Amino acid sequence: MANNKKPAPASKAPAPKVQTRSATPTVNPPAKAASSVSTPVRNSAVPKAAPSPKVTITHEMIAKRAYEISQSPQCGSEHDNWIRAERELRGG
């Protein structure tokens, strides 16, 4: 007995697209300049700077700075010089 089965009908799915090469060759972009050097990524935490020790501002330090200010062309009254000296020494 001969097998007379008919082939199953073809599905209507679209045929896969075949990539073709273009007529013009692809040109790679120019390489970056050698000046940019890459460094490895740092995965560890950045250590915090140690806090600077507190400097105690003394009366003598303020008086000395106030005197220096009084000798400059930008001096003011004694009180103004004292306040300016305190502000400069305390970083304010």
What is the spatial distance between Cα 73 and Cα 60, in angstroms, rounded to a whole number? Answer: 22
- Residue 30 falls within a domain, yes or no? no
Q: What is the DSSP string of 19-67?
A: ----SSPP-PPPPPPTT----PPP-SPPPPPPPPPPPPPPHHHHHHHHH
Report how many domains make up the chain.
1
What is the spatial distance between Cα 6 and Cα 65, in angstroms, rounded to a whole number? Answer: 109
**Entry pTM:** 0.43
- Residue 73 falls within a domain, yes or no? yes
Q: Which domain holds residue 76?
A: 59-90
| Tens digits of pLDDT across the chain (92 residues) | 556 666 666 666 666 676 666 666 666 666 655 556 676 776 777 777 777 678 899 999 999 999 999 999 988 999 999 999 999 999 87
Q: In this structure, what token pair is assigned to residue 17? A: 């697209």
- Residue 70 falls within a domain, yes or no? yes
